[in-house]
Amino acid sequence: MTQPAPQWRATQSAGVDQLAQSISGWDQVYDQTSPGQFYGALTELMLGQVQLFIESSSHALVQTCKTWAGATWFGIPVQRRQMVRVDGTRVAPDMLALHTGHGDFQLTTPDDFGFLGIVIQTEWLRQYAALEHSELPEALLTQRVLQVPDDCLEAFRRWLCQLLLEQPAQVAGLTLQGQQYFLNEAVAGLVQLLTHGKNGPRENVSAQHARRTLRRARDYLQAHTDRCVTVHELCEQLGSSPRALQDCFRKYVGLSPKTYL
């Protein structure tokens, strides 16, 4: 398949809004949840149908993210032990985070965090996997996390870091043949993880309710950015007690409602 020329770029950001807007094709809002002067960085590589990137942030964030239509995002923490959640679900060291669909998703990340990302057209990924005799189950890409073999995940993490951080000059000057090589390596590595992937912890009723509560809270806050919303007001709007709201935010965001507000 003929691909357009690769596009590689690296940016530095002195604010959360600047970092949120720096990645190509995404619609994002970042909220900083720990005090201090923020800085971040993004290195991005576009290889035809595939976007590869590594993003770093100095302070804890709640990220509301949306990729382009018809795409699936996959995320891998740079450091194995860093605590991150996708839509309230914890991403364990042996897990791959993902999101498929037209809607947005929410990431909760800690201080000094690094994230590797891959975005790929969902249908193209399925076609590639089928050609490699590794058809992906329909329900697989609807998960928020997948458990994958630790050695495979670690090898893929190292390869992506090396490609994005240690080979910029080589990548920027790729021939079409070289681009195709790296594209195949990236997608083949991802498909290998997916074909060995197992569904993460099943989302129970309380987790589903918490996710809906958090989404409603975020939507209400975004609709009232002209003033300060109190915890009491939020409880009234959500039909929740202060205790229940506190438990929901602590468990699934890692923050108190007051800190989040």
E runs forming strands in the chain: 7-13, 27-32, 40-47, 50-57, 61-66, 71-77, 85-86, 89-90, 95-100, 105-109, 113-121, 145-147, 198-199
Looking at the fold, whether 153 and 242 belong to one and the same domain comes out as no
> Could you tell me whether strands 145-147 and 95-100 are parallel, antiparallel, or unpaired per DSSP bridges?
antiparallel
Final residue before a domain boundary, out of 182, 199, 216:
199
- Give domain status of residue 150, yes or no: yes
Domain that holds residue 98: 7-199
- Give domain status of residue 142, yes or no: yes
| Angle, CA of 208, 210 and 214, to the nearest 5° | 120
Final residue before a domain boundary, out of 199, 230, 246:
199
Looking at the fold, whether 11 and 132 belong to one and the same domain comes out as yes
Looking at the fold, whether 214 and 184 belong to one and the same domain comes out as no
CA distance 73 to 68: 10
Q: Mean of the pLDDT values across residues 185-190?
A: 94
The closest alpha carbon to 164, from 146, 182, 178, belongs to 182
The percent of residues in the chain predicted with pLDDT above 90, rounded, is 48
**Residue 144 contacts residue 97 (beta carbons within 8 Å):** yes
pLDDT tens figures, 227-253: 889 999 999 999 999 999 998 888 777
Q: What's the pLDDT score for residue 1?
A: 40
Judged by DSSP in three states, 17 sits in: helix
Looking at the fold, whether 61 and 83 belong to one and the same domain comes out as yes
Looking at the fold, whether 100 and 179 belong to one and the same domain comes out as yes
39: Cβ contacts below 8 Å, ≥ 6 apart? 12, 13, 14, 58
- Domain with residue 29: its CATH number is 2.60.120.10
Looking at the fold, whether 11 and 35 belong to one and the same domain comes out as yes
- Give domain status of residue 1, yes or no: no
- Give domain status of residue 2, yes or no: no
> How many Å separate Cα 119 from the centre of its chain?
9
Domain count across the chain: 2
Question: pLDDT at residue 2 above 50?
Answer: no
Final residue before a domain boundary, out of 199, 228, 248:
199
171: Cβ contacts below 8 Å, ≥ 6 apart? 6, 8, 45, 163, 182
Which residue matches tokens 């800190």? Answer: 259
Looking at the fold, whether 60 and 82 belong to one and the same domain comes out as yes
Q: Mean of the pLDDT values across residues 67-73?
A: 94
pLDDT tens figures, 3-61: 455 678 899 999 999 999 999 999 998 988 888 999 999 999 988 879 999 999 999 99
